[in-house]
């Protein structure tokens, strides 16, 4: 079956702009979570969605938001981009929240200039 | 102090060597994960542990809940094992990640 698909793979944006990233989970998976990976901070949890509801949120400013659609696809949005938002954004899908089968996408590499 | 600490940060080995990567955590967890990240970013989940030991091929993962410590072992290491290995703990609400161990295995 198809894996977790993230689009786009690469993105370059200018400071102050906003960006939307997409994640399509494995078919049948209802949990999608998002992570930011930077060289300085490593991997950090952004938020998790399950059946269209945000269940958990990490310690990120309100500029970072997300949503999940009825088909479990998820989007995350970052508004008013800052240089420090440059990172690899990863999403992972799971059938439930116990992470017994966590599958990660390839990530979207965002560069803010 | 980070809630999840990994050691070493970097590891170099010759093909065939036995590798050990350690992970210590300070929070309550329901499970611990070992992840492998290759250049380019893709992450693969290797193990999920809540107790004891698991083995998959040349990879072995152990966890000691009382000591809040886990180890990932690679037997007969191979250049294709070169990657970043990340420990992550399931803190009920979210995953908390270690900073990763960069492993390079030379032929």
A13 pLDDT exceeds 70? yes
| Rounded CA separation A1/B32 (Å) | 26
The distance of B107 to chain A (nearest Cα, Å) reads: 27
Q: What mean pLDDT value characterizes chain B?
A: 93
Does B80 contact A at CB distance below 8 Å?
Answer: no
Residue that wins the pLDDT comparison between A41 and A109? A109
Cβ pair B100, B107 in contact under 8 A: no
Q: What is the pLDDT of residues B45-73, one digit of tens each?
A: 899 999 999 999 999 999 999 999 999 99
- Contact state of B48 with A58 under an 8 Å Cβ cutoff: no
Mean pLDDT of A7-30: 96
Residue A56 neighbours by CB distance under 10 Å: 17
The distance of A103 to chain B (nearest Cα, Å) reads: 7
Residue B80 neighbours by CB distance under 10 Å: 9
- Residue B39 confidence (pLDDT): 82
- Residue A64 confidence (pLDDT): 97
């Amino acid at each position: 079956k198809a894996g977790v698909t993230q689009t786009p793979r690469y993105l370059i944006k200018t400071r102050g702009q906003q960006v939307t990233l997409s994640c399509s989970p494995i078919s049948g998976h209802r949990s999608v979570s998002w992570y930011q990976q930077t060289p300085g901070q490593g991997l950090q949890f952004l938020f998790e969605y399950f059946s269209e509801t945000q269940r958990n949120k990490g310690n990120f400013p309100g500029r970072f938001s997300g949503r999940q659609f009825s088909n479990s696809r998820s989007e995350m949005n970052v508004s008013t981009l800052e240089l420090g938002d440059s990172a690899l954004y990863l999403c992972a899908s799971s059938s439930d929240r116990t992470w017994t089968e966590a599958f990660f996408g390839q990530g979207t590499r965002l560069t803010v200039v | 102090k980070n809630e999840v600490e990994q050691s070493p940060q970097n590891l170099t080995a010759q093909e065939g060597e036995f590798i050990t990567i350690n992970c210590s955590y300070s929070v309550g967890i329901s499970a611990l994960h070992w992840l492998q990240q290759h250049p380019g970013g893709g992450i693969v989940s290797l193990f999920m542990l809540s107790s004891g030991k698991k083995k998959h091929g040349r990879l072995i993962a152990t966890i000691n809940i009382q000591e809040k410590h886990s180890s990932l072992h690679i037997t007969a290491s191979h250049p294709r094992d070169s990657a970043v290995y990340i420990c992550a703990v399931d803190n009920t609400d979210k995953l908390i990640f270690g900073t990763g161990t960069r492993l390079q295995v030379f032929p």
